[in-house]
Chain A
Amino acid sequence: MSPDGSLSAERLQELRRMAIRLRRHVVESVHHAGAGHLGGPMSAAEILVALYFEVMHVDPAAPRAPGRDRFILSKGHSSIGLYAALALRGYFPEEELQTFDALDSRLQGHPDMAVLPGIDMSSGSLGQGLSPGIGMALAARLQQQTYHTWVLIGDGDSQEGQIWEAAFIAARYGLGNLTCILDWNDLQQWGWATAAGYDSDERLPPQESPVARWQAFGWCTIEVDGHDLEQLVAACARARATTAAPTIIIARTVKGKGISYMEGDYSWHSRPVTEEDLRVARAELAAQEEAL
Chain B
Amino acid sequence: MANLSVSDSLVAQRDVFGNTLVELIDSDPRTYVLDADLANSTKADIVARKRPDHFLEMGIAEQNMMGVAAGMASCGLVPWLSSFAVFLVNRDLDQLRVVVAQPKLNVKIGSAYTGILTGMTGKTHQEVSDIAIMRAMPNLTVLAPADGIETRLAMLAAQDWEGPVYIRLTRDPHPSIFGADHNFEIGKAYIVREGSDVTIMSTGVQTVRALQAADVLAAEGISAHVLHVPSIKPIDTAAIIAAAQKTGRVVTAEDHTIVGGLGGAIAEILGEHAPTLMRRVGIRDVYGESAPNAELLEKYGLTPAHVALAARQLLD
Contacts and interface: CB of A to CB of B under 8 A. Distances in A.
Interface of A: 66, 112-114, 120-125, 128-140, 142-143, 149, 161-162, 165-166, 168-169, 172
A150 to B, nearest CB: 13
B98 A140 contact: no
Contacts of A123: 98-99
| Residue among A112, A138, A172 with max Cβ neighbours from chain B (10 Å) | A138
Given A132-B99, A138-B56, A142-B32, A166 B72 contact: no
Interface string B83-103: 000000000001101110011
B150 to A, nearest CB: 30
A132 B96 CA distance: 12
Contacts of A135: 67-75, 79
A160 to B, nearest CB: 9
B61 interface: yes
A112 B61 CA distance: 25
B104 interface: yes
Contacts of A149: 71
A121 B99 contact: yes
A122 B72 CA distance: 14
B58 interface: yes
Nearest to A169: B64
A258 to B, nearest CB: 30
B264 to A, nearest CB: 27
**Candidate in B56, B77, B99 with the most chain A CB atoms within 10 angstroms:** B99
B164 to A, nearest CB: 12
A128 B99 contact: yes
B59 to A, nearest CB: 6
B59 A168 contact: yes
Contact of B58 (A112, A114, A161, A169): A169
Contacts of B302: none
Contacts of B70: 121, 131-132, 135
B292 interface: no
Contacts of A168: 59, 61
A162 B95 contact: yes
Nearest to A76: B98
Contacts of A162: 63-64, 67, 95
Contact of A128 (B61, B67, B72, B74): B67
A209 to B, nearest CB: 23
Contacts of A114: 102-104
B74 A113 contact: yes
20 contacts: A112-B102, A120-B74, A121-B71, A121-B74, A122-B99, A128-B63, A128-B94, A131-B71, A132-B99, A134-B67, A134-B71, A135-B69, A135-B71, A135-B75, A136-B75, A138-B72, A140-B75, A161-B63, A169-B59, A169-B68
Given A120-B74, A142-B32, A162-B95, A131 B66 contact: yes
Size range of the interface on B?
20 to 34
A165 to B, nearest CB: 4
B71 A133 contact: yes
Contacts of A66: 75-76
A169 B56 CA distance: 11
B75 A122 contact: no
B68 A134 contact: yes
A135 B32 CA distance: 11
B77 A139 contact: yes
Contacts of A172: 59
A132 B74 contact: yes
B116 to A, nearest CB: 29
A136 B76 CA distance: 10
A132 B70 CA distance: 6
A114 B74 CA distance: 11
Nearest to A145: B75
Q: Which of A128, A129, A130, A168 has the most CB of B within 10 A?
A: A128
B161 to A, nearest CB: 17
A74 B97 CA distance: 15
B82 to A, nearest CB: 16
Nearest to A72: B71
Nearest to A172: B59
Most chain B CB inside 10 Å of its own CB: which residue of A113, A133, A137: A113
Given A129-B67, A149-B71, A165-B59, 15 more contacts: A112-B102, A123-B98, A123-B99, A125-B97, A125-B98, A132-B68, A134-B64, A134-B68, A135-B75, A136-B74, A139-B72, A139-B74, A142-B32, A169-B61, A169-B64
Interface in B84-136: 94-95, 97-99, 102-104
A172 B66 CA distance: 17
B189 to A, nearest CB: 30
A136 B65 CA distance: 13
